[in-house]
Chain A
Amino acid sequence: MEHIELDYPAKRKISKKAHTGVVGSGDLEVLLEPANGNSAHVSIRTSVEGFSKAWKAVLDRFFTTYDGAVRIQINDAGATPGNVQLRLAQAVEVSER
């Protein structure tokens, strides 16, 4: 089990929580909720160890376009980077619906 914590700057308040995905093989669960202040915090917990650089790259890219002040928790069961991006995009869509 590996735990990864990442922080990003944020500009915008959000009002709604979002939950997407499932901790099944090759998939992940994303919990996105509003945070106070002007930063975003991401906590990742994954059963596949040794990919912290890949996680940082995926989240760095996600936060080039997303500016919500959020807490994101990711529970991962070996999702590919593409799958992670899709689940994050889905969470954003649900929270802004």
Chain B
Amino acid sequence: MSDQRPGANFINRQSFIELDARERATALFDAGTSRELVGPFDRVESPWLEQQGVTPQEDDGCVVMKGKIAGQAAVVIALDGAFQGGSLGEVSGGKMAAALDLASADNVKGVLTSAVILLETGGVRLQEANLGEAAIAEIMASILVLRRHAPVICLTAGTVGCFGGMSLAAGLCSYLVMTREARLGMNGPEVIEQESGVDEFDSKDHALIWAIDGGEQRYATGLADALVDDDTPRIATVIRGLVLKGAPPVYRSSEVALYRSRIAALDTAQQWDPRGLRGLWATKSYSEENQ
């Protein structure tokens, strides 16, 4: 029996966005199978932040958990968007790359192990600059290795979203899952406004930002594989389905010719709006769902 009151679904849902990184990671595993690796009590924190007047966090904003999803071995790596904007530093980036590499090693040993990365991040941590850049390069290399063995699933649920170098890492994953609340983009709105002016992009115009960077638009134009409501059981179900699905037939990051042809065919004499782009680039699944 479903509750028919208006908004009942919204009220009864169990928000995923309201969970912290540790709770998000735990929620994706088969109940009772997860354990944390290099947790806060191991005290592997950033050695650089305190020197710059920033209080470190004991897990450096990166939660690594091992367990089972749909009965198969899996590692979930969750960035905590509330600590330094989920930014990647030497430790948090090292934890993510090492966890992905260990998953690859397990696959080589014959234990099928997939990975889910939960990205709420602005990209490189400015206080750790080059170390963060290097970490992201390592993470991208690690994703490319692991995805040959087992699915690497990126989930960005919001509300920080996924920007900077980590948006490239997200693009390399086997599957990319978003909510309507999440955003995905290379340059964040404030960076674009700062570099090109408010005429180019108004970073205070939230409707504009979500119309361009938001999960619905990214899904509608084929840059995300699934759009899911902010509901914990539904998100866990989608992740389980993708773990069982195995590798995609074609990786988005291999479709160089497709994306080049899209850009080449775009008439830049006119100002395109998000709706117009959906008309040009809508995926088959999105068109069918929205007939």
Contacts and interface: CB of A to CB of B under 8 A. Distances in A.
Interface of A: 1, 17, 19, 22-24, 27, 29, 31, 33, 45-47, 73, 75-77
A16 to B, nearest CB: 11
Given A24-B82, A33-B41, A47 B53 contact: yes
Interface string B46-78: 000010011111100000000000000000000
9 contacts: A1-B53, A19-B41, A22-B82, A23-B55, A23-B57, A24-B83, A27-B82, A47-B54, A75-B58
A59 to B, nearest CB: 17
B20 interface: yes
Contacts of B80: 22
A87 to B, nearest CB: 13
Interface of B: 20, 39-41, 50, 53-58, 80, 82-84
A88 B227 CA distance: 38
A24 B86 CA distance: 10
A27 B80 CA distance: 14
A45 B41 contact: no
A31 B82 contact: no
A17 B40 CA distance: 11
Contacts, number: 41
Contact of A31 (B20, B41, B50, B56): B41
Contact of B58 (A29, A47, A76, A77): A29
B17 to A, nearest CB: 15
Contacts of A23: 55-57, 83-84
A34 to B, nearest CB: 11
B55 A76 contact: yes
Nearest to B57: A23
Contact of A19 (B40, B56, B82): B40
A35 B40 CA distance: 17
A73 B82 CA distance: 19
B41 A75 contact: no
B43 to A, nearest CB: 8
A27 B82 CA distance: 10
A75 B57 contact: yes
Contacts of B39: 19
B56 A75 contact: yes
A47 B55 contact: yes
Most chain B Cβ neighbours within 10 Å, of A22, A29, A33: A22
Nearest to B85: A24
Given A17-B41, A22-B83, A47-B54, 19 more contacts: A1-B50, A1-B53, A19-B39, A19-B40, A22-B20, A22-B82, A23-B55, A23-B84, A24-B83, A27-B82, A31-B40, A31-B41, A45-B50, A45-B55, A47-B55, A75-B55, A75-B56, A75-B58, A76-B55
